Structure 1
Amino acid sequence: MIRKLALLSFLTVITLNLYSQERKIPSESKIERVIVFLQGAQIERAATVSIPAGTSTIEFKGLSPDIDEQSIQVKGAGNFTILSVNRQNNFLNEQKANDEITGLEKGLSSLKDDLEMKRNDNVILEKEQQMLAANQSIGNEGPGLDLNKLRQALDFQKQRLTENRAAQLKNQKAINDLILKITKLEKQVNDLREKARRNTSDVAVMIDSKHAVNGNFKITYLVKNASWYPSYDLRATEVNKPIDLIYRANITQRSGEEWNNVKLVLSSGDPSRGGNKPMLKPYLVGYNINNYEPGSTVTQVQGRVNDATDGASLPGVSIRVKGTSIGTTTNPEGYYSIQIPGAGAILVFSYIGYTSFEQPVTSGELNVRLAPDSRSLNEVVVTQYGAQKDAGASIAGKVAGVQIRGTSSLAPSVPLEVDVQQGQTTVQFEVAQAYSISSDGKQLTVELSSHNLDADYKHHAVPKLSEDAYLTATVTGISELSLMSGEANIFFEGAFLGKTLINVQNTSDTLSISLGVDKNLVVKRTRQKEENEKSFTGATQRATRSFLYSALNRKAVPVTLSIEDQIPVSNSSEVTVEKLEMTNAKVDETTGTVTWELQLQPNEKKELRMKYLVKYPRNKPVRLE
């Protein structure tokens, strides 16, 4: 009886194991839609699965290893019940990659041995060449020289040098070929090591169904290693013409998934920031207390990002001004440049496989060394899916003219339609046409919209400091364009002038754009010598200063010109300043700034004068300029 019970128990265990194995259903899913945030992205997948009766586990394979576990959601449509959702890493890709690496490394070792042998051969040939070159003298002891022996020696030396040189050239060609093969093979090995490190995830969904049915599933989750940031082109063809503003999105992703023919949505949201209200800390007043650091005058930061272990440059590093949408990436040599909105800015450097780094901006140059992330990705993580977040209402609008640039599935000339949705706290740009973004970290640029903006042009000159006239353009109404803070490239008359910053955090609805120096406007300041420039009455010294200004417009169109200078401002009751001549100028009594507003027709020249008198104690000389 006991033997029968044991046999029955054994058969029951075997049956349950077989039943359990049969109930695991591997399933493929397809990415349909991706919402890219300023930091991170939401992936939306879809799948149709044949579900057997009873309890079974559907395994959705090949998902990103970069999943935020708390964000996983699975929704099913059909006559069945979802019992649980778990996530774990899949190491099969790592094993396959490691097997390939082993094979490649054997070939790499063989090539390096061949390279070493060829280099040794060349060393021997070079030694022989040196010996032949050193043996140039033919023995001439004795009464005469044997011409036959001389001819034989010369022929031998010539033949051997020719053979030696040919062998060296042949070896050098073989060395170059081997170096090329080794370089390519090392790149393959490095790519496979990256692939091995980037495992995939599986999401296991336990299902209970009374009958065999087909189920439609939607799987959504957040990944961290994806981002986008806005940038702009500002193009002005000539003075008094509108400015073209081109609005672009720069997208990168290293999520471990290929986004093939997906619908793309770009959101100004940032899930990493959370939605909780910030809390004020006590503002202490007293001695030796620094609540706030002094403001910085830095407006642009540039530098290089390297690996902290071997010093290698890191291309494609994401650099962002913390708490804003202002960002950039490092170039192939690891260099970057980014505009800074104001004092107190903090730069965040992030790169897959490395620990993120934050650095307050204190100077215009910032070089960073990122350390590899010590946290292992080879850890199985099992979590329950999180709760869905509210999307919120939106107002739809239309913006045309989107183009894809870079490695996308669309030709750059294909116009796209973008649906702009303005929510309570975020803006979303939904591109109607699907396209692809590879998980290689390469930047893809999407042209979201373009706007033709009326601008007021004005020239500014400060001839005391420079005789150049600087052109600026002022644009109003930018709050209606759904812009985000970002860098802008400035082009004027077809030439690239530099970069500026569009900062929508400012409450002003006006954008001022510097278009650089205009050489067709000539402004000069000349000091005029006056009789009795210095005199005194009793204990008071009197000094006058007189200046002549000229402004010439060489352009073919009228211009507006603002000229600035200054008169001294007294900070003592013993010193007084009197304005003697200020040709139609506006004077700020507090700062001493003198401003002239001029309208200049084509080829018109105007002259202005400024003259002032300073009185001060005779025995206390003052600096007048």
Structure 2
Amino acid sequence: MTAEPAHRWGSTLDSVVVYAQGAVCHRLARGSVPPDGRVRVTGLPRSLDPGSLRARVLGTPGVRVTEARVEVEAKPLATGSPDELRREFERLRDAYAAAEGRRDRQLSLIEEVSALHPVPPARKREDPHRRTPVDAWLELADFVDERLTGLHTRLVELEEALGSVEHELTVAADRLARTSTDAPSAHVETTVCAVLTLDGTGDAEVELELEYGVPGAVWVPTYRLTHRQGDGSGRLVLRASVAQRTGEDWTGVRIALATADLRRRTDLPKLRSIRIGRRQPAPAPSGWREPPAGLADLFSGYEAAGPGPATTAAPAAVGAAPGPV
């Protein structure tokens, strides 16, 4: 038995408070509360801090949020079957070969037309001088120039088409190389949503406010002082430059600025005890301490063994002078 999927609500970004490091975003979502009270609010950025998610109901008494958590949904991108990708790759390969052939033929035509130039017939020594047909030579030059202009224009079009087909062929070859029949695709699409549990009147339309923190946002103040010579006063203008890489679009969103640090430590301080009365000097440390328990039984085994064997004195060395030991 599987649980029914939660109702999906869309959300819109309403306001942002930018701190010295990081920002707090507020989103609004509206919808009807399902009978089971489970709602899935979409549109959240992937950079949000899961521990900072807060949710509350606006303007609807009797309905409250009892649980809020962040979930990440992932699904593989539609890449097609390997057979389809292989057929697409072969089609693009043939198209690339055809485009390359058209480009090469155009280059051959350009070389042929560029090689056109007037060649006078060979003159024998006894032949008289002939007048050069200047008009014919100029007409040939004009024809070659006009023809080359059209050929080069067509060559640019063919090279652009060849580059486009080459790019598509490269993409198709990469997709075909990364596709496998026994392993899922590594390219997945992830979306972040907030799963909420509402407690209250069923089938009622409510408005929710979601609050969460995101890193990657900062603002910098800029001051501009204008003063005219001879005036006794000036004008100081404060401007703020906001930069963010949170993955959200802040266009048309109300933005507030704060100089506090969003990620400052909030540990509770340790309060020392306070004693009222006359201060007593601290006692001096003593080196005496009570012996440990069981010290009397430490040598019981030695005493139970009795006296040790008698030992004989070693003989004095020959020729040693008597004297005290």
Q: TM-score, normalised by structure 2?
A: 0.55
Do 2:77 and 2:189's aligned partners in 1 also have CA atoms closer than 8 Å? no
Deviation, 1:241, is 4.8
1:201 to 188, 192, 196: 192
Q: Distance in 1 between matches of 2:266 and 2:96?
A: 56
Over the aligned positions, Cα root-mean-square deviation in angstroms equals 4.7
Residue equivalent to 1:465: none
- Going from structure 1 to structure 2, the CA distance change for 1:112 and 1:145 (only over 3 Å counts) comes to farther
Deviation, 1:221, is 0.4
Residue equivalent to 2:46: 65
Deviation, 1:88, is 2.4
Say which one has the larger Rg. 2
Contiguous gaps of at least 5 residues in structure 2: 169-186, 269-325
TM-superposition CA deviations, 1:57-92 (whole Å, max 9, x none): 201012111111111111235535644322223446
2:112 to 107, 128, 136: 128
Which SS does the other structure have where 2:238 is aligned? strand
- Going from structure 1 to structure 2, the CA distance change for 1:127 and 1:150 (only over 3 Å counts) comes to same
2:260 to 262, 269, 292: 269
Q: Distance in 2 between matches of 1:197 and 1:218?
A: 29
Do 2:77 and 2:188's aligned partners in 1 also have CA atoms closer than 8 Å? no
Residue equivalent to 2:219: 228
Deviation, 1:243, is 3.6
Q: Distance in 2 between matches of 1:114 and 1:240?
A: 77
Deviation, 1:179, is 11
- Going from structure 1 to structure 2, the CA distance change for 1:81 and 1:248 (only over 3 Å counts) comes to closer
Do 1:81 and 1:207's aligned partners in 2 also have CA atoms closer than 8 Å? yes
More helix by share: 2
- Going from structure 1 to structure 2, the CA distance change for 1:175 and 1:201 (only over 3 Å counts) comes to same
Superposition pairs for residues 101-140 of structure 1, below 5 Å?
120=104, 123-128=107-112, 130-132=114-116, 135-140=117-122
Report whether the alignment pairs 1:35 with 2:26.
Answer: no
Contiguous gaps of at least 5 residues in structure 1: 1-12, 186-195, 278-625
Do 2:220 and 2:242's aligned partners in 1 also have CA atoms closer than 8 Å? yes
Residue equivalent to 2:147: 164
Q: Distance in 2 between matches of 1:157 and 1:172?
A: 22
- Going from structure 1 to structure 2, the CA distance change for 1:81 and 1:35 (only over 3 Å counts) comes to closer
Q: Which moved more, 1:246-255 or 1:156-165?
A: 156-165
Q: Which moved more, 1:151-160 or 1:81-90?
A: 151-160
Residue equivalent to 1:434: none
Residue equivalent to 1:79: 62
Residue equivalent to 1:49: 31
Superposition pairs for residues 137-148 of structure 1, below 5 Å?
137-142=119-124, 143-144=126-127
Do 2:7 and 2:34's aligned partners in 1 also have CA atoms closer than 8 Å? no
| % identical aligned pairs | 19
Q: Distance in 2 between matches of 1:58 and 1:153?
A: 86
Residue equivalent to 2:8: 26
Superposition pairs for residues 417-496 of structure 1, below 5 Å?
none
Which SS does the other structure have where 2:115 is aligned? helix
Q: Distance in 2 between matches of 1:144 and 1:174?
A: 50
Do 1:118 and 1:174's aligned partners in 2 also have CA atoms closer than 8 Å? no
Q: TM-score, normalised by structure 1?
A: 0.31
- Number of positions where the alignment pairs a residue of Structure 1 with one of Structure 2: 237
Deviation, 1:231, is 1.1
Residue equivalent to 1:89: 72
